[in-house]
Structure 1
Amino acid sequence: MPSVQIKNVPEETHRVLRRRAAAAHQSLQEYLRAQLIEQAKQRSLDDVLADAAAQSGGSATFADTVALVRSDRDRR
Structure 2
Amino acid sequence: MTALTIRDVPDDQIHTLKVRAALAGKSLQAFMQELIAREVAKPTMAEMMARLDRETTAEVGARDIVSAIDEGRAGR
Structure with bigger gyration radius: 2
Offset of residue 54 of structure 1:
3.5
Report the 3-state secondary structure (helix = DSSP H, G, I; strand = E; otherwise coil) of the residue aligned with 1:31. Answer: helix
Pairing 1:57–2:61 present: no
Higher deviation after alignment, 26-35 or 47-56: 47-56
1:23 aligns with 2:38: no
User: Structure 1 33/59 Cα, relative in aligned 2: closer, same or farther at 3 Å?
Assistant: same
State the identity as a percent: 21
Amino acid at match of 1:44: T
Query: For this pair of structures, how many residues does the alignment match?
Result: 63
Write out aligned runs for 1:1-76 (5 A): 1-55=1-55, 56-59=57-60
Q: What is the CA-CA distance between 1:34 and the residue it aligns to? A: 0.9
Q: TM-score, normalised by structure 2?
A: 0.68
Separation in 1, partners of 2:13, 2:61: 49
Query: Gaps (5+ residues) in structure 2?
Result: 70-76
Q: Provide the aligned C-alpha RMSD in A.
A: 2.0
Distance 2:10 2:61 in 1: 51
- What per-residue deviation string (whole Å, max 9, x for no partner) do you get for residues 15-64 of structure 1? 11010001011111110011111111111111101122334215467xx8
d(CA) in 2 for partners of 1:60, 1:32: 50
